[in-house]
């Protein structure tokens, strides 16, 4: 099942936006860096005139038929070129295979954002839409929302029912929004209060959701170094503590009952049992020396990820 590893350099536009986060070790990347990011990229790029002229539709699930077990991403250079965004902290794909992004608008995360106790200093909500659903072929905005709801957006996930899950590192909370709703039906953590208790987070970075059980996996990854597992009703089931140096992203291999984390400054990807067939947190895989890994996503038997500076590249890891 989980054997040899193949690392392939790639570029994935959706994942690269998860790099826009500051760090003294793993540096920030801006869209102005895009040409240098690509370098001597050998894969095919789709020119703008090859994009579909079709009007946006409601469903792009047919795109799933073209996915491989180990995908070979293709950059679309002109995709979404007219988007006006702030720091993009998270990217997901919704139940209709449309990209959904989580962005900070005018807010930036810098050394003044939090005090030494991890308390957000500016408690003014972002006064523009922070969540945008995009046309998968053109990058056109199909829906946007989230104005006056968030303070320091970070992670985002969408389950098979269309529920949207987000983490806000300023609020120290994780929220679930039902399909079409702008009000959460589940909120975990205490508003603006960092902590390490059973009902607290400290700058939660990422969230992943099981489409089989509805369980919610939270990377409480900045000032706490742990993964917390909740059921669909928000009841805490398990906690996995570690000595990671910023868990920046989390993803699930549903069929294998495995979750993987991106240990950003530790420069590793580590995978563990979800607790369905083996004890929760049993280590299953370790990939070392991958660079400052900002974002990972599971697809088929592959892990696709984005590495920050100084490497500034993407990777595909074949776990088969």
Bind-site residues for Ca(2+): 91
Q: What is the pLDDT of residue 19?
A: 39
Give the total residue count for the chain: 320
Q: What is the pLDDT of residue 244?
A: 97
15-41 per-position pLDDT tens digit: 444 433 334 456 444 333 333 333 333
Q: What is the pLDDT of residue 203?
A: 99
Q: What is the pLDDT of residue 25?
A: 52
**Range 7-318 classified under CATH 2.120.10.30:** yes
Pick out the chain residues at pLDDT < 70.
Answer: 1-71
Q: What is the pLDDT of residue 172?
A: 99
Bind-site residues for Zn(2+): 154, 248
Distance CA 264, CA 290 (A): 9
Q: What is the pLDDT of residue 46?
A: 29
Per-domain residue ranges for the chain?
7-318
Distance CA 246, CA 53 (A): 42
Q: What 3 state SS string does 54-118 have? A: CCCCCCCHHHHHHCCCCCCCCCECCCCCCCCCCCEEEEEECCCCCEEEEECCCCCCCCCCECCCC
Q: What is the pLDDT of residue 318?
A: 87
Q: What is the pLDDT of residue 70?
A: 66
Judged on CB neighbours under 10 Å (0-12, 13-18, 19+), 265 is: middle
Bind-site residues for a protein: 104, 222, 264
Bind-site residues: 91, 104, 154, 222, 248, 264
């Amino acid at each position: 099942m989980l054997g040899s590893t193949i690392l392939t350099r790639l570029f994935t536009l959706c994942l690269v936006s998860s790099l826009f986060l500051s760090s003294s070790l793993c540096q920030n990347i801006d869209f102005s860096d895009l040409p240098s990011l690509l370098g001597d990229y050998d894969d095919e790029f789709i020119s703008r005139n090859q994009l579909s002229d079709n009007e946006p539709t409601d469903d792009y699930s047919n795109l799933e038929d073209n996915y491989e077990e180990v995908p070979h991403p293709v950059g679309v250079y002109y995709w979404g070129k007219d988007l006006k965004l702030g720091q993009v902290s998270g990217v997901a794909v919704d139940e209709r295979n449309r990209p959904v992004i989580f962005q900070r608008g005018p807010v930036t995360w810098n050394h003044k954002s939090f005090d030494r106790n991890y308390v957000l200093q500016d408690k003014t909500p972002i006064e523009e839409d922070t969540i945008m659903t995009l046309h998968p072929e053109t990058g056109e905005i199909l829906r946007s929302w989230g104005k006056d709801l968030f303070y320091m957006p970070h992670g985002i996930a969408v389950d098979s029912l269309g529920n949207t899950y987000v983490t806000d590192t300023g609020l120290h909370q994780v929220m679930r929004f039902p399909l079409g709703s702008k009000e959460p039906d589940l909120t975990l953590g205490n508003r603006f209060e960092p902590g390490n208790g059973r009902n607290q987070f400290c700058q939660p970075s990422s969230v992943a959701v099981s489409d089989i059980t509805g369980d919610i996996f939270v990377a409480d990854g900045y000032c706490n170094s742990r993964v917390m597992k909740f059921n669909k009703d928000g009841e805490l089931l398990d906690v996995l503590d570690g000595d990671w140096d910023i868990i920046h992203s989390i993803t699930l291999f549903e069929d294998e009952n495995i979750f993987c984390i991106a240990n950003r400054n530790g420069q590793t990807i580590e995978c563990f049992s979800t607790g369905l067939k083996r004890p929760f947190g049993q280590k299953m895989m370790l990939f070392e020396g991958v660079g400052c890994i900002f974002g990972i996503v599971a697809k088929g038997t592959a892990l696709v990820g984005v590495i920050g500076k100084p490497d500034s590249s993407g990777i595909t890891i074949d776990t088969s």
